[in-house]
Every structure is written in C-alpha cells, then in structure tokens.
Structure 1
Amino acid sequence: MNPGSDRRSAFPAWPQYGHEEREGLIRALEQGQWWRMGGSEVDAFEQEFGDHHGAPHALAVTNGTHALELALEVLGVGAGAEVIVPAFTFISSSQAVQRLGAVAVPVDVDPDTYCIDPAAVESAIGPRTRAIMPVHMAGHFCDMDALAKLSLDSGVPLIQDAAHAHGARWQGRRVGELGSIAAFSFQNGKLMTAGEGGAVLFPDAGSHAAGFLRHSCGRPRTDRAYFHRTSGSNFRLNEFSAAVLRAQLARLEDQIDVREQRSPLLDRLLADIPGVQPQARDPRCDRNPHYMAMFRLPGIGEDARNAVVDALVERGIPAFVAFRAIHRTDAFWEVGAPDESVEDIARRCPNAESISRDCVWLHHRVLLGSPEQIHTAASAIADVLDGT
C-alpha cells in the first residue's frame, strides 16, 4: 500500500489505498453487472461489514445521510413526530429528521466527551417523541447504558448515528451488538471510505426487510413486474463502491490499532499546553477508532479559535473548526424546527454552544503518523497558542 503524504507535514495522506482496491474495482468491472441487483460486491460487503460489527443484518446505501433517513423511516418517523438529536453534531443528524417532515429537537451534550447528555434526553422526551439519535462523537461511544435504560423505560427506540464509530466498542460490545439500528457513513474523510457511501445495521430480519424495500424504491429484490410495495427512494450502493469498501474494511482494525497507540501520546502533549483540554474518554468506551482528535480551548472565542485553525493549517497541520451547533445554522430553521427560538435552545444547550465556539479537531490521519509527527503537531499547537 502506498498511502502517500502531505507535502508540508509528511502526515499520512487520506484516503489510503493499495492493490486491494484496484483488484476490487477490476473484479466489479469484469463481473459484467455494475448495480447491486446483478452483481455480488454489495452483497458481500454487507455480510462482511455486518459480521465485523456484530450485527445480524446490514444494508449498504448511497451515503450516511441517507442511512439516517432510511433508519428513521423504518421506525415510522414522519410528519408529526419528534426526534431527539444532540445540538452539537454534523447537520445531517437533524436534516435527516427534518426531510421526513418530522421535528428535530436538539439537546445538550457532555462538556468533556461531546456526546449527547442522557439527562438532557430524558428531559426532552414527550408524547410525540418517536426516536432518540445519539451520535458517537469522533468515535467515542455515547453513554449507551443510560440511553438504553431511557429507551426501555420510555418505549422510544434508539438510532445510533455511528458515522464516526467504525470498529468502536462499548464495554466489549460492538455497535451492532447493542440491540438498536445504527447508521454509518463512508464519505471521503471517514475511517473507511469509497468517496461516498453509507450503511445501516439492523438488529432483526423484519427491520432489515423493511429497509431493503425502502432503499430500492419499494421494490422487492425478485420483482419483475414493477410491484412497488412501499414508498421509498433509490438509496442503492453501486458495485464499484462496495468493492472499494471491502478493501477498506480489511485494513480498518490495523489502522485503529495505530490510532489507539498514538492518541494517548497526543492527549498527554495537548494536556500539557496551557488552555488546552483534549476530548475526555469514558473508560467504558474500550475501543475508540478516533475519527477526529478533538480538543477545546475554553474561553478563546469563535473568531480567535478560527484564527488558531488557520495558523495550524498554514503550518501543515490538518486542523478544522468544530461543528457549529445545529440551531446556529440557517438550514436548521428551514423546516422541521421546534417551536422555540435560537436563544431558547441556546439556553438549554450551554455545552453545545461553548464547544462549537472553542473546539478544534485534527484529521485522524495525524494519529496514523509517527510519534515524532505527533510531537510536531503538538508543538505547532503550542507555538500558535503562545502567539495568540
């Protein structure tokens, strides 16, 4: 494999690929059928991905946003429903809800792990709540024990937004072993990628069958008479993407091993820099794939934080500003917003407000670098902050 490197920093490049992806693409090309109904790559990938994550059923789809939409549809979410989402997340978490005609209800997150706060979830559950959507932020599991109890007590199902959590484990259990539907993304920056793509894990055959119908325009696999049994859309993944993802999956665990080895070093170095707080880790999250290396600069302010990120990028560090709180975007208010003002939500979600202003993340390829490169990244952060 030839992962390449960044010209300035020499951090490993992303995506990474090798002869396995080339062979997979040729295999898909030469089988003569390039869509899932005639080929074998998507079927094989679904089996392999489901097995890897401990799920009895997996369905490959076009992207992670569609994975969330499909999961919500299978649970019957639509007009008149409410879905609880974290206020600090990528906008797809809320837009997948809103595009189905439902209302996204943002709640606050933990100030240390940046994952959804179970107490805030409990306070937000109401008569119209049809799903709770925790996001495993940067690969760190949400408190699935507390959330599972809330789900059981309230009767409201969970949908795990696992877009960052490929290969993650919570007390030894994989995403697909937690008894709830989970959605993944394979967008270009994700821990395994085909440029785009997504997957949904289902805990039972019935929900998987419903998902399959809806991801293929409501049409059964063997249909020849255009007998569409449900509403749906075309969320089918193509054979070429599936072939690439099979190769990506095969090297996922080795890459996680490297990131797990490098992350404690980076966290220790960052914690030694005045004013820097690395993302915390719950010990129950016993395997974190580290989609991002995240840290906060409490009290710095959004403009100054943005200037820090710009300075890091100038030094060859692949740094990014954190997600904007979803209620602070125009998109959130276009359709399917709760009957509250921006400031109402902000008062309920002070941690999400602060994190979105003071948090920085480094691309996970930094954690694939050498210990010397980890020191280089930390030194650059220290130097930039010393100059602010």
Structure 2
Amino acid sequence: MSDLSSSDLVFPEWPQYDDTERDNLIRALEQGQWWRIGGSEVDEFEREFGEYHGASHTLAVTTGTHALELALQVLGVGPGTEVIVPAFTFISSSQAAQRLGAVVVPVDVDLGTYNISPEAVANAITDRTRVIMPVHMAGQIADMDALDKIAADSGVAILQDAAHAHGARWRGKRIGELGSMAAFSFQNGKLMTAGEGGAVIFPDRELYEEGFLRHSCGRPRTDRHYLHRVSGSNFRMNEFSGAILRAQLSRLDGQITLREQRGPLLARLLAEIPGVVPQEIDPRADRNPRYMAMFRLEGADETTRNEIVDRLVQRGLPAFSAFRAIHRCEAFWEIGAPDETVEAVAERTPNAETLSREAVWLHHRTLLGAEEQMHRIAEIVADVVARA
C-alpha cells in the first residue's frame, strides 16, 4: 500500500459558513434586540427547524445537554425516578438526568447498529422508571417501533436523544412525527452548529408551554412583575445563535444527501478490510444523516484501538476513539448512579463494553469529500490496521 500523507486528503472544513451567516449576523445585530424575548431570529429558527422535522412545537435552548435536562424536567424526572439510557453514549445523556436527582440505569446496545437494545430496555423497567432515552447513534434512528410498544405497554415516556440525528427519518417519518419529545444539539462538531446550542421538539402545545416557562426561569413571556410560576433555569438561546442556525439549516439537507451517497461506499470499502466491521444500517432508518462514519476494530483492546486512532490522525484522517461506556467514567458514579458496581453493570452490558474498546469514528466532514477520497480513506485505514 502507498504511504498516503495528509497532503493527499483535503476534506471540507468544519464548521462551514459563507455570506449567509454573515448577513444573518448583521441582521440580528441591527434589529437592536439581542435576546429572544425582544428579537425575532430565535422565533424564526424555531419555526423553520420545526417545519423541517415535522414538529409543530420547537424550543431553542443554550446547549444540547440543557435540551435533554429541560425535556426530562418537563417529563417529571426528579428524585425518586429512574431514566433508562444506553450504556454506550456521550455522558450528557446520563448527566442531564442525574443533575435532576434521578437515578440513571444503563442498558446494553445492539452490537451491529450501536443503538439501545429494546430487549434490555424492557428488562430494566421498574415502577420508578419515568423515561426511556434512546440515542440515535451516529444519526441512525433507534428501533422506535419496538420502543414505542414498550412505552405504550409500560406507560413510560420516551425522550429521543437526537443530538446526532438532524434530518433523520424512521420508516418515512421525521423525528417530529414520531410522537415523542426529542432533544437536539448544535455543538461545534454537530451536523449544524452555532458553536453551542440545542433544541427540544414537543408533540403537543401543553408540554411546549411548560418547556418555555422552565427554560426562562419559570417566567411567562409577557410577565412584567417577576411572577415566576415554576422552577427552571435560564436556557434561552440568544439572537446571534438563532441567526447562525437559520443559515446552517438552509444547507443541511444538501449535506445529508451527499453524506448518504458517500457513507454506503465507505462502509463497503471498510468492510473489505480484515478486522474492520462498520456500523450496521437498519433499513427502516430510511434517511440517515451520518453524523459519524463508525466502525469496530474487531478483537482490539482499548490501548491498541487508541494507538490506531493516533496513527490515522497522523495520516490525515479526522479520526476519534469512540465514547467510553458511561459506567466506565468516574463522573457517572458521583450522583444518581444505580446501586450496583461497575463490574455488575459491565456484565449486563457486554456490547457496550465491546464498543467502548473497539469502536472508532471519522468526522462527518469526511463524507462531504469526493468519491475518490472514500477509497483513499479505506486504503489508509487498511494500511494502519495491517501495521498495527
């Protein structure tokens, strides 16, 4: 194999921006009101983002983590309740619930799709379970058919962690058409970004109105006398972020279309490499924005995986070690942890343990590259894995 250097690969930069963002920022500046209560940019972004996702009620907030925390609070999560989350996810999924005083119960994921296992969810439900939180890993929607049935049978609410899944669809339905609340992130690496930011979509007006109160310190929109009705915090998005996100949204659909063309090709090429197993795609997830190009290094230990990631970076690929299983993080055990040991959780989440050791992901900007670059990516991965 040729020893390709970084000069052979020039991927699009991220974040992407052009005069649309500049013009929108100037418009937000010149309106003279820079917070959402007096301005129009956040209101318009909420309308446009909601329309794109098939949601009639959308609330923009400060971060994706705050989106989860706010949504959980609206769903009644607090002390004495439990929230089921996948053991393989970014730790915000668990910390948002733990900061509300709830106990987080990690469950296993599917080794092919990396998404939460419905069977594991069903086995974890107790009379204290308040919310099931599927994470749409790398942009692929979790098995919402099975999860919706579990939720209906148990009376437990679903909150979709859609931080990776802007524009995703499940059996032709957009996320806002799936009947449950969902939280999005606009952090710097996400599929659309204002550096930070988040949003919650709601299935009905009543939940939305409670969300609005709680995201604005419990204060109604028109209040002039500090009549704070419920507990909450200041999760309000500013007008400049709203203006940036309106521009980002305008190019999202085209980017998804390109990534959906490149993603299957790269996965096929990676699957031809001995020891490399790409993330499986559930055909029911019929629009996958592909936030990450993910794969496993089958049989690798964590040290070897990390060394391979370092070598991929040296060769010009924006490669990353995948999430550590949440129960393998010290932070998970500080508050709101189950009455179990680390090893007990690990024993019942073997797939999450495997992914925590073996999984690698490539930044989604790689999938905005030319078709030829997918072949070069696979060649570099094959060379680095063979040398390791």
Equivalent AA in structure 2 for residue 181 of structure 1: M
Equivalent AA in structure 1 for residue 309 of structure 2: V
CA distance in 2 between counterparts of 1:7 and 1:331 reads 39
Secondary structure of the 2:157 match is coil
CA distance in 2 between counterparts of 1:55 and 1:13 reads 30
How far did residue 374 of structure 1 move? Answer: 1.1
Equivalent AA in structure 1 for residue 270 of structure 2: L
Cross-structure match for 1:3: none
CA distance in 2 between counterparts of 1:129 and 1:61 reads 26
CA distance in 1 between counterparts of 2:33 and 2:49 reads 21
Cross-structure match for 1:58: 58
How far did residue 372 of structure 1 move? Answer: 1.2
Alignment deviations for residues 190-225 of structure 1 (CA, whole Å, 9 cap, x no partner): 000000000000000000000000000000010010
Secondary structure of the 2:54 match is coil
Secondary structure of the 1:294 match is strand
CA distance in 1 between counterparts of 2:346 and 2:386 reads 31
Cross-structure match for 2:148: 148
CA distance in 1 between counterparts of 2:206 and 2:160 reads 18
Cross-structure match for 1:257: 257
Equivalent AA in structure 2 for residue 69 of structure 1: E
Cross-structure match for 2:305: 305
Cross-structure match for 2:331: 331
CA distance in 1 between counterparts of 2:169 and 2:341 reads 37
Equivalent AA in structure 2 for residue 217 of structure 1: C
Secondary structure of the 2:362 match is strand
Structure 1 residues 238 and 382, CA, compared in 2 at 3 Å: closer, same or farther? same
How far did residue 8 of structure 1 move? Answer: 6.8
CA distance in 1 between counterparts of 2:9 and 2:198 reads 30
How far did residue 112 of structure 1 move? Answer: 0.3
CA distance in 2 between counterparts of 1:54 and 1:359 reads 32
Cross-structure match for 1:71: 71
CA distance in 2 between counterparts of 1:9 and 1:198 reads 32
- Runs of 5+ unmatched residues, structure 1: 1-5
Secondary structure of the 1:101 match is coil
CA distance in 1 between counterparts of 2:262 and 2:380 reads 17
Q: What pairs up with 1:198-217 in 2 under 5 angstroms?
A: 198-217=198-217
CA distance in 2 between counterparts of 1:52 and 1:240 reads 21
Equivalent AA in structure 1 for residue 127 of structure 2: P
What is the root-mean-square deviation of aligned Cα atoms in Å?
A: 0.8
Alignment deviations for residues 12-48 of structure 1 (CA, whole Å, 9 cap, x no partner): 1100001110000000000000000010000000000
Cross-structure match for 1:227: 227
Cross-structure match for 2:287: 287
CA distance in 2 between counterparts of 1:153 and 1:252 reads 36
CA distance in 2 between counterparts of 1:231 and 1:7 reads 54
CA distance in 2 between counterparts of 1:386 and 1:79 reads 50
Secondary structure of the 1:158 match is strand
Alignment deviations for residues 158-203 of structure 1 (CA, whole Å, 9 cap, x no partner): 0000000000000000000000000000000000000000000000
Equivalent AA in structure 1 for residue 187 of structure 2: Q
How far did residue 9 of structure 1 move? Answer: 2.6
CA distance in 2 between counterparts of 1:7 and 1:214 reads 50
Cross-structure match for 1:114: 114
Structure 1 residues 222 and 343, CA, compared in 2 at 3 Å: closer, same or farther? same
How far did residue 240 of structure 1 move? Answer: 0.3
Equivalent AA in structure 2 for residue 26 of structure 1: I
CA distance in 1 between counterparts of 2:7 and 2:173 reads 39
Runs of 4+ in 1 over 6 A off after TM superposition: none
Secondary structure of the 2:106 match is strand
- Runs of 5+ unmatched residues, structure 2: 1-5
Cross-structure match for 1:10: 10
Q: What pairs up with 1:1-388 in 2 under 5 angstroms?
A: 9-388=9-388
Q: TM-score, normalised by structure 1?
A: 0.98
CA distance in 2 between counterparts of 1:241 and 1:9 reads 31
